[in-house]
Structure 1
Amino acid sequence: MATPRQHRTAARVPPAATPPRRERVAELVRRHPLACYLFLCFTLTWLAWTPYVLSDNGMGLLSFGFPEVLGSPQTLGMLPGAYLGPLFSAYLVITIAEGEPGLRTWARRLFRWRIGWCWFLLILLGVPAAQVLGTFFLPQAWETVQLPSISALLVYLPFLAVQVAFTGVAEEPGWRDFALPRLQHRHGPLAGTLILGLLWGAWHLPLFLTEWAGWPHVDPVQIIEFLVTSVVIGIPMTWVFNRTGESLPAVMLLHAGINNATSVLWLPMFPELDVHRDAQHALLITSAVISIALIAATRGRLGYQPPTNRHV
């Protein structure tokens, strides 16, 4: 039994100080950086995309439409959410969790251009060639194929630069520069890539309620095929990332090249095909063939080298 003196002594001991809310949030981010990145990435992007989804460019629940900028309403409807999600979320989480050392590692990958001209040549020529050749797996492609016009060839590189600045810069600093190294370190290159591909595909889901995916003519099969394609296409992207010494410009060029080849070359070459369905079929077939070859050739390692005493 405690004496009155002991009770008085115990009463004078101050309670343990509760950490301020900012400290608790920072500790949560430091302990779970990947989970915090994913939460912020999905939340910020989907909130920013909500007006686009509800507008006349989407479900039509709000009576306004986004004006065309650079030839498309998607520029204003989609890009703010794309930048705000992957890019800003990665920057914010790294700043809180790792500080300047982590930001330096992140930035080094972002500006790693010196990878050899052969890689850039492979991506510049290989991506459109693969997409066109993959389309010929579709029987109806042979009936309507046309040679690309001179104008399409002339605008290919300028439009590619725009795609890199928009799509590549907006998405890849988050998905490939931040998330991929952590997932590879935790789950291995193949499993980490498959997980990332599914998350990356799911991040696009609200856009299926907009003109981007052909709304309202969207069905569940189209959505499932897009998710599978996102998973499969991530395998060559991981291989390029790993084999170029984690060069983000190479991955941004690859990502932008896929989008650019579809809009600039594929559409005029196959005018009778459906860009929302047939182009997706062709991309899935092409990506699957390349991915199977890469998995077999690398035995599932995809060029991965485990990190040694550095931020991932």
Structure 2
Amino acid sequence: MHNTYANKKPSLFLLVVIFYIVTSVGALLLGLLQPSIGIPEIVIQLTQFGPAIGAAVVLFLWRHKNRSLFTLDMRLWPLPVNRIIISAALIAFTFVGAWLWYTLTDHSVTYTPPSSLSHPFWLIVIAQFIGAAGEEIGWRCFLQPTLQQRMGVLPASIVVGILWGIWHVGVFSEGIMYASSFILFAVSLSVILGELMRNIRGGTLLLAAAYHALINLGLLLWFNEEDGSRLAMGTLSITCTMAAIIAVVVGQIIRSKKRSTNRTYRTTHI
């Protein structure tokens, strides 16, 4: 008997719902499994591999037909060096902006020296990248390109950001203000990543995972947002939103100039 789901032509909505359910259930089960394995959460959180499981299940269910319904972009090469430089600048803007606001409002940034962590920092860096890649396989390599081929980059980035933010269900235990700030933070990050990955020829997974991991490391070392600090989460969400706006506006300006140049070229070569 053929797989029922494989023989049906699913709607995009159904595909996203199945991906999201499997991602959430997979993350929950991995979270329950982690204590028994003994892997410390400060090194890596197994829940981060939930989105990769979600993408794998969707690919399996519709492996025979309707492959045009979804996109899986895991190209590793060529690595877009210019986008990496822009990524570093946007990350620096996000954290420096948050630090400046703390300074202007007489608040102190909670700095955690790498040497004081319970595990070697180099191990945490490697594990954070692996964990971020586990998430980004689902969010940015699967869901983002699948949605954006139907609704455009910016709307797709916003939808992915909302789903990504709500997926971190634990933030709701800190109250609605904290959760709202976190979701805004997630949407802003998603918009930035959507712009950075727009029209690149390779390096999608590496770029997304690196950006994600660096943000996580910055949060680990410089801010106490995981302690439920609304100031920390609110500040970071605002500075990240500003970085997202800059990324979108600059991207639009660059694309507009390229279109203008192309029109001029075609006109002068008729």
TM range, smaller chain: 0.7 to 0.9
Give 1:251 deviation, angstroms.
0.6
Structure showing greater Rg: 1
Where do residues 33-44 of structure 1 align in structure 2 (5 Å cutoff)? 35-44=14-23
For structure 1, the residue ranges without an aligned partner over 5 or more in a row are 1-19, 56-64, 210-214, 304-312
State which of 145, 156, 161 in structure 2 corresponds to 1:181.
Answer: 145
Cα pair 1:242 1:302 within 8 Å, conserved: no
CA RMSD for the aligned pairs? 4.0
Q: 1:156 to 1:239 in 2, by over 3 A?
A: farther
Given the two structures, how large is their TM-score scaled by the length of structure 2? Answer: 0.73
Residue of structure 1 in register with 2:264 after alignment: none
Give CA deviations for 1:36-89 in whole Å, capped at 9, x if unaligned.
Answer: 343243345336526958x9xxxxxxxxx93794543795xx51x432x31122
How many residues are paired up? 251
State which of 261, 267, 292 in structure 1 corresponds to 2:218.
Answer: 261
SS of match in other structure, 1:298:
helix
Cα pair 1:37 1:90 within 8 Å, conserved: no
Given the two structures, how large is their TM-score scaled by the length of structure 1? Answer: 0.64
Residue of structure 1 in register with 2:154 after alignment: 190
State which of 89, 92, 97 in structure 1 corresponds to 2:57.
Answer: 92
Instruction: Give distance in 1, aligned partners of 2:177 and 2:255.
Output: 29
Q: 1:91 to 1:150 in 2, by over 3 A?
A: closer
Instruction: Give distance in 1, aligned partners of 2:165 and 2:226.
Output: 23
More helix by share: 2
Q: Does 1:208 align with 2:187?
A: no
Give 1:120 deviation, angstroms.
3.5
Residue of structure 2 in register with 1:31 after alignment: 10
Residue of structure 2 in register with 1:290 after alignment: 243
Give 1:129 deviation, angstroms.
5.3
For structure 2, the residue ranges without an aligned partner over 5 or more in a row are 257-270
What's the % identity of the aligned pairs? 19
Give 1:101 deviation, angstroms.
11
Amino acid at match of 1:184: Q
